[in-house]
């Protein structure tokens, strides 16, 4: 009964991962849930770091494109003056 209440209070992603297995006692369930939550959090942090790296890379590429565009515009104005 206590284990059912514990499972019911979990977020759905944790509850789904824990509900398919039978645990001997509440202690085992709590330990397994903590381990699962840590793995899920680690995955979220890894995803965020990839998103940050991609955002920085995209920003660096945008800066390079702006610089190239400005150089082309400068060359265009020089050619027009000839």
CB contact set of 7 (below 8 Å; sequence gap of 6+): 15, 18, 19, 29
- For the whole model, what pTM was predicted? 0.45
If pLDDT is split at 50, 70 and 90, which confidence band does 34 have?
confident
| Mean pLDDT, range 15-24, rounded to an integer | 73
Place of tokens 């979220």: 44
Q: Where are the alpha helices (DSSP H) in 1-82?
A: 2-8, 12-19, 26-81
CB 6 within 8 A of CB 30: yes
Domain ranges of the chain: 2-81
How confident is the model over 43-80, as pLDDT tens digits?
776 777 777 767 766 666 777 778 888 899 888 888 88
Residue with tokens 């381990």: 35
Note the pLDDT of residue 56: 66
Q: Percentage of residues in the chain with pLDDT exceeding 90? A: 0
18 pLDDT more than 80: no
């Amino acid at each position: 009964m206590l284990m059912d209440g514990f499972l019911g209070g979990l977020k759905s992603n944790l509850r789904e991962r824990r509900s398919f297995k039978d645990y001997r006692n509440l202690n085992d369930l709590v330990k397994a849930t903590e381990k699962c939550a840590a793995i899920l959090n680690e995955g979220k942090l890894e995803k965020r770091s990839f998103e940050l790296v991609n955002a920085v890379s995209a920003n660096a590429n945008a800066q390079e494109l702006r610089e190239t565009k400005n150089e082309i515009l400068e060359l265009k104005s020089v050619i027009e003056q000839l």
